Structure 1
Amino acid sequence: MGTDEQLPENLTLDEAYRAAYYMVEQYVALEKQPDVGLVLLVQYMESDPARWIDWIASVRRGLSDASTINPQK
């Protein structure tokens, strides 16, 4: 998908998880000396079986408290 193509308004939980993973992975790959916490986060997102339960809990929290963080700022 190119940068000029329209993005969907909504994502599935799987799609949103992959997007979050790629965001962190991209940052780690671009940085000369990436933060060890982000490296560990990528490893966790790839391999820890608890990641899906944690992801669902995070989605629920994000839906219930929209004022916590503004992704547009």
Structure 2
Amino acid sequence: MSEKAISEALTLDEAFRAVFFMTDQYLAREREPDEGLVLFHQYLQSDPARWEDWEAAVRRALEVGATDPLVENLHRSE
């Protein structure tokens, strides 16, 4: 399989699949994964409300002045 370029802009579907696969990858690597994350993964697979919840989370992330959960880790001084 050839290396596919990663776009900076994803569709909602692509971003959702990325979250699913990242969670799936983490669970596969951990010998004793956190039960809450296992339940979250099951929720992503099976709960009919997941898409509306996903859209609400994306809207929240796009709000002006929304907290960026990455800032603490990306910009902390060593």
Q: Same fold (TM over 0.5)?
A: yes
What is the CA RMSD across the aligned residues, in angstroms?
Answer: 1.7
Whole-angstrom CA distance in 1 between matches of 2:35 and 2:70: 25
Cross-structure match for 2:56: 57
Whole-angstrom CA distance in 1 between matches of 2:33 and 2:16: 21
Cross-structure match for 2:69: 69
Whole-angstrom CA distance in 2 between matches of 1:36 and 1:70: 24
Q: Deviations over 1:7-38 (max 9, x none)?
A: 11210000000000111111111000000011
Unmatched runs of 5 consecutive residues or more in structure 1: none
TM-score, normalising length from structure 2? 0.80
Cross-structure match for 1:39: 38
Whole-angstrom CA distance in 1 between matches of 2:17 and 2:5: 18
Percent of aligned pairs with the same amino acid: 50
Residue 31 of structure 2 aligns with an amino acid whose one-letter code is K
Unmatched runs of 5 consecutive residues or more in structure 2: none
- What is the CA distance between 1:6 and its match in structure 2? 2.6
TM-score, normalising length from structure 1? 0.86
Secondary structure (helix, strand or coil) at the match of 2:16 reads: helix
- What is the CA distance between 1:69 and its match in structure 2? 1.4
Cross-structure match for 1:25: 24
- What is the CA distance between 1:41 and its match in structure 2? 0.6
Residue 36 of structure 2 aligns with an amino acid whose one-letter code is G
